[in-house]
Homo-oligomer: A and B are copies of this chain.
Amino acid sequence: MGRDNWKIIRDQISAEISAGMLQPGAQLPTESQLCQTFHAGRHSVRRAVAALAVEGKLRVEQGRGTFVQVAPLISYHIGRRTRFRQNLLEQGISPAGEQLADAVVPASARVAAALGLAEGSPVHRLLRRGLADGVPINIGLSYHCATRFPDLAAQRMEGVSVTDIYRSHGITDYFRKRTIVFARRPDGEEAGLLMQHPDQPVMVLQKTDVDAAGQPIGYSEAVWAADRVQFSFDSQDEGEAAPESAIDV
């Protein structure tokens, strides 16, 4: 066929999904069948399918087949009193979390710096996965001083919230100090846990929690499925000046 044939195939399949001819969860024809349908080589068909898988419209499972992906979009607000559960409940989405792993490890240089501890100090490292309506949306690695919060891992495992654990240690209030955001491609494990295509980007959010005195008490890095969430940040109105450039954001 002509050139850029795989783009034609991609757009055709994409259009059928948009038009509802291919319902979410439905299985696509096999590659052989698609080759015949589009009078194309397998290479072109596979390229088109791969592109749509990256966009999150298709999900390819080796040995089983290719399926139309269901992709919910969540709006996650970060500002005053940000809470995972509440954020999702407000959108009619059911939140859940599961602890995948926990260990006490010596603090790396970065973690030690974030928590204001000496490098090598024992810290809890918790790996958790967050779900929205049963669909994975983030993977979080969090770090807390193991001396200060000895039972944190066990309590979190039992479903005790971070806020309650803090409170039981005399911390009645705490703040998100700063959030760093960037995007990258996930590694294989991250893509697997998020059940997304390895070529679909993820957003990484790093933050430090501090107590009322400004002392760091927790640090976490979370990886979010970029096609399932968008973040909003409120800026304080008081005393802020705005950017001088229109390309500023």
Binding site for B on A (CB under 8 A): 54-55, 78-85, 97, 126, 128-130, 138-140, 142, 156, 161-164, 173-185, 199, 201-203, 205-207, 209, 214, 218, 220, 222, 224, 226-227, 229-237, 239-249
Contacts of A138 in B (CB 8 A): 247, 249
Q: How far is the CB of A17 from chain B (nearest CB, A)?
A: 17
Residue of B nearest to A225 (CB): B183
- Cβ-defined contact, A236 with B233, below 8 A: no
Contacts of A232 in B (CB 8 A): 178-181
Q: How many copies, total?
A: 2
Greatest chain B CB density within 10 A among A176, A199, A224, A229 is at A176
- Cβ-defined contact, A241 with B81, below 8 A: yes
User: Which of B161, B179, B201, B203 is within 8 Å of A244, CB to CB?
Assistant: B161
Contacts of A130 in B (CB 8 A): 245, 247
User: Which of B205, B237, B246 is within 8 Å of A220, CB to CB?
Assistant: B246
- Cβ-defined contact, B247 with A181, below 8 A: no
Q: How far is the CB of A179 from chain B (nearest CB, A)?
A: 5
Residue of B nearest to A247 (CB): B140
User: Which of B79, B126, B181, B239 is within 8 Å of A235, CB to CB?
Assistant: B79
Residue of B nearest to A241 (CB): B81
Residue of B nearest to A143 (CB): B246
Interface CB pairs A-B, < 8 A, 15: A54-B185, A82-B241, A83-B243, A128-B247, A140-B246, A162-B245, A162-B246, A163-B242, A174-B241, A175-B235, A175-B240, A176-B243, A184-B227, A222-B249, A236-B236
Contacts of A205 in B (CB 8 A): 249
